[in-house]
């Protein structure tokens, strides 16, 4: 790109252009636009270069306008420069459009015509943050393999997830994972070797002693949440808010050995409020990373982009505070110790900040929605709540070995993850250069593949009555599961969820305490309201964000 800038700024080239008739110059730059597409932009990745490209075009216009002004001494010079730059831009975009529609290697796949032309169409469809529903509609209209972008195929086949990350998979993480750049967290690293090295450092944060400390934190915070619920004395409780406070408080301790204290203060921490507002960007922009980069550049101090940068700055500050503190039992311990050992704390700042963001978002913004949906479904299905109560009553939340073996408790969690996955549509991968086969369908090389868990978990070919919440399918009625390949809630292989054990302890503990101590139901006459809120207003912002949920909690007779 710097070479392109230099060409635009080169005086001999501009002088030559200024001496040609206007029509000839427009034709010449038009040809140049086509050449730039086929010799430059058609190769490599350009999703991070949007701001630089815009600056280059603006600089070219400015130089041409000045040269024209020297020759004509008229305001028409600016119009001439605009025509020349416009001719280049039009030819470039026309060439890109023609190639994508008529010559691209994915052109034979079915899908919306505009989706094959530009991802901006997909971004518009996701403007309300419900990409999971957009993709479900595409599956019903176009089938198992759908072209959802110029170089993107969404796979609705049961084996899609397993082939992306399973044993022997040669796929790689797509450009989506550059969203945090220049910060890089363990889950956003695209290079396999580097990812594996960083993952080994994270694993140190899951030692037996660390897990014991996490469990103590979880138990203490569940007691805080229980106290708030008990204090409501039968009034509607905004349980979704309390669950999010719980999850983020735990992740603050998990990442930095510092709670956000939201359950204690009973109010949102400003940084988490900013984070949640910033995450709304991922609703429409997840599908178009290059547009997000332009937005980050143009709107840095405005709108939710400001919240995004504020969130990143806060994570950077928290990580710096953690660097300055003695060692504690948290995930930061291993990664900080490694940087300190190598004497690269300053150089590793972007990795440390990236890991901080990943820990907070991946840890809390996945557990929280799963818990909200689980409690919501138990409120919708009191008979199943009673079955669960009969299983967990009398079991101590400290006895995780027993909780781990309780079939119905774990079936409740698994069924919730199937019907309401914490990451509904994310996890894009790129095919290897030689391409890959999925159920007899060849996906060309270097093509982005999407395998949306929200849709795969509801396939009629995999699950009986797929849109119903039936925990028994993972317990006493396995015949309700026809194909297990489409259900991988914690991923697999090298990308298996690092925090799975912590997440399960959180969910076991919260669900067990609430179901043991309370019966809960929707406020009188508001059942449909909260169905529309929790499910109807759910947003796909990389992680699932259910709508608000309030329930009435009534203490069981045998609870003091």
Task: For strands 236-237 and 551-555, give the pairing.
Answer: antiparallel
Q: Please choose, from the candidates 337, 318, 317, 319, the residue with its C-alpha nearest in 3D space to the C-alpha of residue 327.
A: 337
End-to-end CA distance of the chain: 70
CA–CA distance, 425 with 451 (Å, rounded to integer) = 7
Closest of 439, 451, 418 to residue 156, by C-alpha: 451
Burial of 144 (0-12, 13-18, 19+ CB in 10 A): middle
Structure-block tokens of residue 93: 């975009």
CA neighbor of 331 nearest in space, from 428, 253, 254 = 254
Q: CA-to-CA distance for 321 and 356, rounded, in angstroms? A: 12
In the block, residue with structure tokens 């001494």: 73
Tally of residues, the chain: 560
**DSSP secondary-structure letter at 56?**
H
The DSSP secondary structure of 432-446, one letter per residue, reads -TT-EEETTEEEPTT
SS3 274: helix
Identify each DSSP E strand in 324-369 by its residue range: none
497 is an annotated ligand-binding site residue = yes
Q: CA-to-CA distance for 368 and 422, rounded, in angstroms? A: 9
Q: Distance of alpha carbon 522 from its chain centroid, rounded?
A: 30
Residue 62 C-beta-side C-alpha neighbours within 13 Å: 8
The Cα–Cα gap between 276 and 271 comes to 9
Matching residue, tokens 């995930």: 331
Kindly report whether the peptide bond that precedes residue 182 is cis, defined as omega within 30 degrees of 0: yes
Distance from C-alpha of 349 to C-alpha of 362, rounded to nearest angstrom: 20
Distance separating alpha carbons of residues 383 and 33, to the nearest angstrom: 66
Q: In whole angstroms, what is the distance from residue 123 CA to residue 279 CA?
A: 15
Would you call 187 helix, strand, or coil by DSSP?
coil
Distance separating alpha carbons of residues 123 and 117, to the nearest angstrom: 13
- Residues marked as binding for heme? 497
- Binding residues, by number, are 497
């Amino acid at each position: 790109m710097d070479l392109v800038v230099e060409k635009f700024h080169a005086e001999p080239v501009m002088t030559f252009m200024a001496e040609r008739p206007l029509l000839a110059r427009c034709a010449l730059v038009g040809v140049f636009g086509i050449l730039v597409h086929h010799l430059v932009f058609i190769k490599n990745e350009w999703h991070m270069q949007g701001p630089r490209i815009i600056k280059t075009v603006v600089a070219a216009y400015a130089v041409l306008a000045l040269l024209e002004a020297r020759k004509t001494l008229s305001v028409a010079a600016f119009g001439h420069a605009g025509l020349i730059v416009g001719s280049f831009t039009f030819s470039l975009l026309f060439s890109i459009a023609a190639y994508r529609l008529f010559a691209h290697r994915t052109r034979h796949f079915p899908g919306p015509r505009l989706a094959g032309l530009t991802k901006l169409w997909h971004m518009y469809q996701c403007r309300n943050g419900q990409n999971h529903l957009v993709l479900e509609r595409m599956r019903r209209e176009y089938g198992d393999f759908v072209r959802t972008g110029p170089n993107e195929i969404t796979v609705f086949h049961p084996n899609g997830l397993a082939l992306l990350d399973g044993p022997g998979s040669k796929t790689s993480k797509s450009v989506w994972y550059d969203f945090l750049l220049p910060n890089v967290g363990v889950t956003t690293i695209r290079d396999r070797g580097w990812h594996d090295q960083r993952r080994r450092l994270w694993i140190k944060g899951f030692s037996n002693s660390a897990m014991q400390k996490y469990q103590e934190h979880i138990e203490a915070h569940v007691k805080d949440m229980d106290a708030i619920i008990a204090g409501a004395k039968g009034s509607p409780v905004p349980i979704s808010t309390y669950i999010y406070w719980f999850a983020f408080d735990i992740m603050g301790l998990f990442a930095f050995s510092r709670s956000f204290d939201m359950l204690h203060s009973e109010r949102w921490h400003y940084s988490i409020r900013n984070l949640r507002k910033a995450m709304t960007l991922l609703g429409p922009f997840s599908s178009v990373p290059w547009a997000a980069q332009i937005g980050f550049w143009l709107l840095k101090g405005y709108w939710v982009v400001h919240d995004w940068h504020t969130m990143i700055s806060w994570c950077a500050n928290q990580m710096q505070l953690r660097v300055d503190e003695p060692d504690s039992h948290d995930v930061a311990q291993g990664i900080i110790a490694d940087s300190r050992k190598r004497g690269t704390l300053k150089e590793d700042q972007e990795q440390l900040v990236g890991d901080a963001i990943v820990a907070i978002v991946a840890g809390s913004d996945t557990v929280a929605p799963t818990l909200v949906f689980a409690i919501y479904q138990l409120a919708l299905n009191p008979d199943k709540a009673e079955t669960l109560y009969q299983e967990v009553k009398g079991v101590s939340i400290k006895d995780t070995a027993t909780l781990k073996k309780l079939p119905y408790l774990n079936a409740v969690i698994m069924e919730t993850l199937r019907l309401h996955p914490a990451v509904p549509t994310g996890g894009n991968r790129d095919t290897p250069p030689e391409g890959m086969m999925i159920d007899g369908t060849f996906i060309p090389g270097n093509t982005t593949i999407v395998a949306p868990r929200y849709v795969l978990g509801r396939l009629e070919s995999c699950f009986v009555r797929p849109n119903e919440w039936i925990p028994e399918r993972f317990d006493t009625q396995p015949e309700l599961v026809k194909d297990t390949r489409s259900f991988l809630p914690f991923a697999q292989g090298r990308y298996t969820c690092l925090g799975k054990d912590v997440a399960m302890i959180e969910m076991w503990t919260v669900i067990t305490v609430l179901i043991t101590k309370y019966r809960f139901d929707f406020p009188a006459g508001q059942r449909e309201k909260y169905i529309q809120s929790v499910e109807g207003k759910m947003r796909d912002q990389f992680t699932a964000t259910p709508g608000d949920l309030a329930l009435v909690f009534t203490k069981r007779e045998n609870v003091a």
